Amino acid sequence: MADVIIRNTKNLKGVVCAPPSKPYTQRMVIAAALSNGVSRLSNPLVSEDTEATLRAVRALGAEVCVKDDCWAIQGTDTVKGAKKPIDVGDSGATLRFMIPVAALASAPSAFVLGKGLEKRPVAPLLDSLKHLGAKAEVVKTGRKTSIRVEGGGLNGGKTTMPGDVSSQFVSGLMFACPLAKVDTFLTLTSPLESKSYVLMTENVLSKHDVKVDISEDFNRIKIAAKQTYHPVDGKVPGDFSSAAFLLAAAAVTDSKVCVKNLDYGSIQGDKAIVRILKQMGVNGDVREGQIEITSSGGPLSAVDVDARDIPDLVPVCTALACHANGTSKIHDAERLRLKESDRLTSLYTELSKMGAEIAMDESGLIINGPCKLHGAIIEPHNDHRIAMACAVAALRAEGETVIQNAECVRKSYPQFFTDLHMLGVDVVGWELDR
């Protein structure tokens, strides 16, 4: 366990690169693993979650050669059952994507869940798979929880699932059902949230010559059977979800910061952070492959954030709202209670420690700013986005803020504290990220 201290920092300046996208890396790895041939991924994200995805595809028959900033993945046209239980850590995407893929194998597989992942929902996916001829169940052995997938292949057919629990359930079927015996027809029983992640999956599949038909209202998806994944080389784009914390750090200080490796044309819902910052009065200059933030460090304008399609931006928007004039509202964020932590409660608890005037209801947060923040000891609840959000809030807090168990950022952005330090943030203990 490692602690990081963030001290009040008035000025930031410099150029950093956004980390590679975690969701793109995971999707590209899985599509490559299902392709009959070698695909090369350049600029992949190396993090706890992407390493979990690599473990999973290797266990199911793919071969991976890691060299410098390129992963060469030899896919398999026949998914194999895992000989040993697959440790997916706390990676919800790895688990939810790979359960349907494991159902394609002739032999059973088991996925071992980390403690944080045990609390996150998976039942809607398992129920949906039953309709498609696959059996998977939760198994408790002592203190360990695992998911056992029987294997035997996917029949395809008609199935349903809610669209407002996790879009990852939908993406999981999109990966596996092109290899089913008959066409799959998925109907969502509630409106789909986080649509951009489903579109991201569709985009990755299309590059491997796999087609999925999504209705205009996102309520119905048809996946043709007996398709073939073809190998393809690709570069992982930079991640707006992670870069949002760098852009926010610049916004709340007297700064001129350039974040490179950001393609505003990529299919990432969290590029909405640029629009939100502009609504708050921050000058964000979008150029080819980069975004530059110029800020005086003065109070921002309050904002209203609908979180249905951008849940991962809620932590950073909450931190920004603490430095905004007026009442900011973050709503339609019920799903955040089912993330790595109950993020609404985590944000309310930890930012309150720092003196934030913040209220919480079942589906959102209300922040009355600007808040006179002070240093505090922060417990991020083993949640990378809580740790990073509190680090941003701490930049304008009086005194110093201690973020305990700061290594949780390795889930998505291992170099976060290093990059803050490069921009001029007074960080103590940042060596843990080297």
Active site residues: 312
Q: CA-to-CA distance for 319 and 386, rounded, in angstroms?
A: 10
Q: CA-to-CA distance for 45 and 51, rounded, in angstroms?
A: 9
Q: Which one, of 97, 106, 37, lies nearest residue 78 by Cα? A: 106
Backbone angles phi, psi at 341, to 5 degrees: -135, 175
For residue 400, the surrounding DSSP H or E stretch is strand 400-403
Two structure tokens written together for 138:
């939760």
The residues pairing with 292 across neighbouring beta strands, listed in sequence order, are: 258, 285
- The Cβ of residue 371 has, within 10 Å, a number of other Cβ atoms equal to 21
The three-state (H, E, C) secondary structure of 255-272, written as one string: EEEEEECCCCCCCCHHHH
Backbone angles phi, psi at 125, to 5 degrees: -70, -45
Specify whether the CB–CB gap between 332 and 306 falls below 8 A. Answer: yes
Specify whether the CB–CB gap between 220 and 187 falls below 8 A. Answer: yes
Would you give the DSSP letter of residue 224?
-
